[in-house]
Amino acid sequence: MSLARSSLLGGLDLNVSLDAPLGSLTWFGIGGHADMLVSPRSEEALIHLIQRCHEQDVKVRVFGGGANLLIDDAGVSGVVLRLDDECFRRIRYNAEGEVGAAIVGAGVDLFGFVQDTKRRGLAGFEMMAGIPGTVGGAVRMNAGGAWGEISTALQSVDHLSWDGQHRTFDAATLGFRYRGSDLPSGVILSAKMILQEDDPVTVSNRVKEIFQHKRSSQPMGESSAGCAFRNPDPDGPAEGRSAGALIDQAGLKGHRIGGAVVSDQHGNFVVAESGANASDVHRLMDDIQARVLDRFGVELSREIVFWSREEQ
């Protein structure tokens, strides 16, 4: 290990992969490598690592489930954190003695948590059925859809600032809104969810209904990262139309650049076909934005996050 890496990583309980194939871990399945992909094996190791990165001015990114992420073909520098150790994937039900309350680690898989709450007859998280990713990533972007957003079940967030300060935020103070909040940048450690006891069959039927609707209307079996763009302000020039509707009305379903194509099933999904690279997806999204702006005067904002070496 080089002297610089030793001063950053040495003596900490970490799993470290150098020049790690990061793009293949995303839902697109394309893109370059991470210079350092680091999985802390304890919260203490994470805190020390974050503090060292802060002191040494090393860029840190947090990799969740890779569900709404595109990695540049040239890869990314700095440290990419992956909270996939068991210590970040714990679920503690009846938290603090409250029936229905659960403290959920940031690395917990959304699909798995939906299924677990369904089996336990705990209602209030069904709206996340069919949404990929981790709890931490979902809280960060206030993920959700037509059935609701994760913030509706959220009571508090355990958070680590970039200088290593641990703090718990009351969700009611965080200004959650469509695909955003006032939660400071940093690392989400866990989230406290408030759920309600219900008949397991009733909860299961709700989950099944939501999942079946998504499966019938979205290309869930293809290499896509979920919705490519956020829905525009309904009071603006979009006149209440969703991003998918605008893309469809612009005649862009099936439009392609290289191996990237707009889904025929849902206009707001970009699919990476065999042979595609990140540049294809990036250029296609640029083209979609330009064409929708030219046709409707609506500037679409990206929901998919793009990581590159040049990103600050």
Q: What is the set of active-site residues?
A: 179, 227, 303
Residues 6+ apart with CB under 8 A from 60: 50, 53, 78, 79, 80, 81, 162
Residue 82, SS3 per DSSP: strand
Report phi then psi at 46, rounded to 5.
-60, -45
Report phi then psi at 91, rounded to 5.
-125, 125
Distance of alpha carbon 307 from alpha carbon 77, whole angstroms: 10
Residue 56, SS3 per DSSP: coil
Distance of alpha carbon 61 from alpha carbon 240, whole angstroms: 34
Closest CA to 30 of 281, 219, 277, 309: 277
Question: Token pair 């064409």 is at which residue?
Answer: 291
How does DSSP classify residue 230? P
Query: Could you tell me if 107 and 85 are in contact, meaning their C-beta atoms sit under 8 angstroms apart?
Result: yes
Maximum C-alpha span of the chain: 58
Distance of alpha carbon 80 from alpha carbon 308, whole angstroms: 12
- CA distances to 158, 181, 182, 275 from 140, in Å: 12, 8, 10, 31
Residue 15, SS3 per DSSP: strand
